[in-house]
Structure 1
Amino acid sequence: MDIREIIQKGGPAMWPLLVLSILALGTILERMWFWTSILWRERKIVERVLDAAESNWQAATEMALEGRRQPIGRYLYAPLRLVNPDPEVFRLALEAAADDELALMRRGDKLMEAVITISPLLGLLGTVLGLIRSLRSISFSDLGTASVAGVPIGIGEALISTAAGMIIAIVSLVFYRFFQALWYNQVRIFRKAGSELELLYRQDWLQGEISDTLNNSDTSNSVKLKPAEIPEVSEK
């Protein structure tokens, strides 16, 4: 049987199942392309930004700006674009950027959840409608006669929609869990990269405060020497 025959034998519930399968397939392909492009480049972006931040914050900002097409690049660039921020402001900028980027990474999850939930129900609905259609014209007087010979065939055809709904839900669930695992891995990467960048910034910030304190203390403790007074010598 080809797809057209399967849809016809499965009943009217097969058409919404076909739509859900197309939506799920499109979402899966789009998410696969998205995650492949992220995992291929983000490690290099993180290493370049952190290496540059150890010696030159301007270079680190430029490195993050170059990688702004990737979520990790936009995440690291969010605090670096600020002008001499306080460490707390630096941390808040990292947290806000992480929330935005991680939320965008979950695009398509709601659609996948809907497909996983609705597909089996539509399959069961198609089966129930098929059973009603198969058993509607049978009366008790027809039991055991040749008129009920086609009932098992009708029941078998009615179960096609249930099988289709279960297949769509199972495949969607597998990819949904796979994308969830990738997302949780991104949470770990974001936390690690953000913590390392914040630690480097706090170290430089504290060193700057210590140097300023030492400079101020040296200035305040310096003693201004007055020229020695030469006593006047009286002539006798």
Structure 2
Amino acid sequence: MAIDNITMITANFSVVVQQINEAMPLWFQQGGLIMWLLLLTSFLTTVVTLERCFVWLHYYFKKEHLPLLDCFAYLNKKEKTKALLACQRLDTPALNMLAFGINALPFSPNEKMESYAERKIHNMSRGQTLLDTVITLAPMLGILGTVLGIIHSFNILGVQGVNNPTEVVAGIAQALVSTAMGLSVALLALLPFNLFRALLQRLTLHLEGVGSEFYHICHQQRLISNELSEIMKTQELSRTNKDNEEVFKYTVQKDSEMPYHYEFKEGSDEVKVNLHEEMKELHKTSQESLAEMYTSPISKKKEYFSIDELKLQKQKETARQVQKESFRNKTR
């Protein structure tokens, strides 16, 4: 049952193809399979051309000039919210790219904007690969059809001889039709391909100009802050302060004659004061000696806190007698 259905479908398809082939002009029927391939390529070229024309016309009918000016004006005023709303008025590549950049602020928007621009340019260039392929393939198919036609004509010439050269000439003329058809299809694809490529280059330059203006405004108004550079600067400043603290601590501890050691706490005004180890020992020794002095019993034979007045009077009297004797000796 299934085999019968397949056979019936195949028979119906053959009938339809035969009817379509009979409806074609005689020169098309004589081209054979090559003409059908050229017809397919021309159909694809037409579809792609119409679709791309609709896309580009839809893009150019959108007037994005005013929203772009409003967006840049708000960015100059550092009003990112209003600038984002201005970009969302229309759905165009430039405005969408600016929206990605504004959403990325205050971080660098380069990667997001470039990534979106590349994706959009790739989408706008859709179909150009097919047109480029048709431009190369169609003439080759036409030449192939011509070669096959000439081979067929010479086969006839070889069988029938030169008695009737009119048929041979007619066969060669029919074979050249495929070459003409291939060149026509290539031209049909070449014109829109060059047009769409020029439009794509223009769009690329437009996106680059909008991106450059956006970067200029962001740097001028300081809307971009590089977090990584700020972290590196903070670390470098902290490292420098630590080095200066170590040098100052070494100077106070080793090179100074001050008996105290100062320690500064980073990020605070607290100062910790300690005695050096040598000064601790000296201070301990002095305290012990003073303690022995004040706690030891006073000897009866020695007086530490008074003077012997009798000895002092005796010394004074002795000195007076010596002076008197010396004066007497001089007067004699």
TM-score bracket for the superposition, by shorter chain length: 0.7 to 0.9
Q: Please tell me the root mean square deviation across aligned C-alpha atoms, in Å.
A: 2.4
Q: Are the structure 2 counterparts of residues 3 and 119 from structure 1 closer, same or farther at C-alpha, using a change threshold of 3 Å?
A: farther
2:60 is the counterpart of 1:60: no
By relative contact order (CA 8 Å, sep 6+), the higher-ranking structure is: 1
Question: Could you say which structure has the larger radius of gyration?
Answer: 2
Amino acid at match of 1:177: N
Amino acid at match of 1:73: L
Equivalent residue in structure 2 for 1:116, among 128, 135, 158: 135
- The secondary structure found in structure 1 opposite 2:174 is helix
Tell me the distance in 2 between the aligned counterparts of 1:40 and 1:163: 38
Q: Would you identify which runs of 4 or more consecutive aligned residues in structure 1 move more than 4 Å?
A: 206-209
Equivalent residue in structure 2 for 1:91, among 100, 110, 113: 110
8 Å Cα contact 2:128/2:193 also seen in 1: yes
1:227 maps to none
Q: Are the structure 2 counterparts of residues 161 and 178 from structure 1 closer, same or farther at C-alpha, using a change threshold of 3 Å?
A: same
1:33 maps to 54
8 Å Cα contact 2:218/2:224 also seen in 1: no
Structure 1, unpaired ranges of 5+: 210-236
* CA shift digits 1:109-156 (9 cap, x unpaired): 11111111110111011111111122212228722x2x2211111111
- The secondary structure found in structure 1 opposite 2:221 is helix
* CA shift digits 1:3-41 (9 cap, x unpaired): 821421322201011110010011111111111111222
1:148 maps to 165
Equivalent residue in structure 1 for 2:123, among 92, 104, 108: 104
TM-score normalised to structure 2 length? 0.56
Equivalent residue in structure 2 for 1:79, among 87, 90, 101: 101
* CA shift digits 1:139-191 (9 cap, x unpaired): 28722x2x221111111111111101101111211111111111111111001
Structure 2, unpaired ranges of 5+: 1-21, 227-332
Instruction: Identify the range of structure 1 (48-57 vs 73-82) with the bigger mean alpha-carbon deviation.
Output: 48-57
- The secondary structure found in structure 2 opposite 1:85 is coil
Equivalent residue in structure 2 for 1:190, among 190, 193, 207: 207
Equivalent residue in structure 1 for 2:198, among 168, 178, 181: 181
Figure out how many residues of one structure are paired with residues of the other and give that number: 202
Tell me the distance in 2 between the aligned counterparts of 1:191 and 1:63: 19
Tell me the distance in 2 between the aligned counterparts of 1:25 and 1:137: 37
Q: Are the structure 2 counterparts of residues 45 and 171 from structure 1 closer, same or farther at C-alpha, using a change threshold of 3 Å?
A: farther
TM-score normalised to structure 1 length? 0.78
2:27 is the counterpart of 1:4: no
Equivalent residue in structure 2 for 1:46, among 54, 68, 74: 68
Deviation (angstroms), 1:80: 1.3
2:152 is the counterpart of 1:129: no
